[in-house]
Amino acid sequence: MPKIIFEKIIKADRKKVFELTTNYEHFQKILPQYYPSIRIISVRGNVSVVEEHLRIGGRELVMMVKHVIDEPILHEIFIIGGDAKGTHIIKRYEQIPPGTKLTLEIDWKPKGMSKLSNFLDKNKIPNEYSKIIDEFVMIAES
């Protein structure tokens, strides 16, 4: 699947947006429809390893995820195990006059391509991931 890049303009301060979208330990509380389970495995400085269950495209993916945070400009997500092993997501945060520009680059590599063939409709993943980000936008702007 090709790399997906999209941008969101959020009418909120970059620090607020960054804290909200990188605080993975609270995803289960604020977006339980997408994150039914989050379990922190280890935290060392700005690097964390987390077991995440993500509901996307009508499926629940179980993944081991490494988060690397460079506050307040960058959040890199490496899926190091599970259903989407090899996926790499980069979130960049830029302060702009109306608020924050969030740029996402997603290099999605689902494991077991044949099992997930319906899931891999080329428009489905960007649309589903965009819905999750839209939920974060609504929270940040409120």
User: pLDDT-derived band of residue 115, with 50, 70 and 90 as boundaries?
Assistant: very low
Domains, the chain, in order of start with CATH, read 4-141 (3.30.530.20)
Mean pLDDT over 102-125 rounds to 66
Outline where the chain has alpha helix (H): 14-22, 27-30, 124-141
Answering whether pTM is above 0.85, one says yes
Instruction: Give the distance, in angstroms, between the CA of residue 11 and the centroid of all CA atoms in the same chain.
Output: 19
Mean pLDDT over 9-32 rounds to 95
User: pLDDT-derived band of residue 71, with 50, 70 and 90 as boundaries?
Assistant: very high
The yes-or-no verdict on residue 116 having pLDDT over 90 is no
Region class of 45: left (phi > 0), else alpha (psi between -120 and 50), else beta: left
CA–CA gap between residue 11 and residue 70 (Å, rounded): 21
User: pLDDT-derived band of residue 113, with 50, 70 and 90 as boundaries?
Assistant: very low
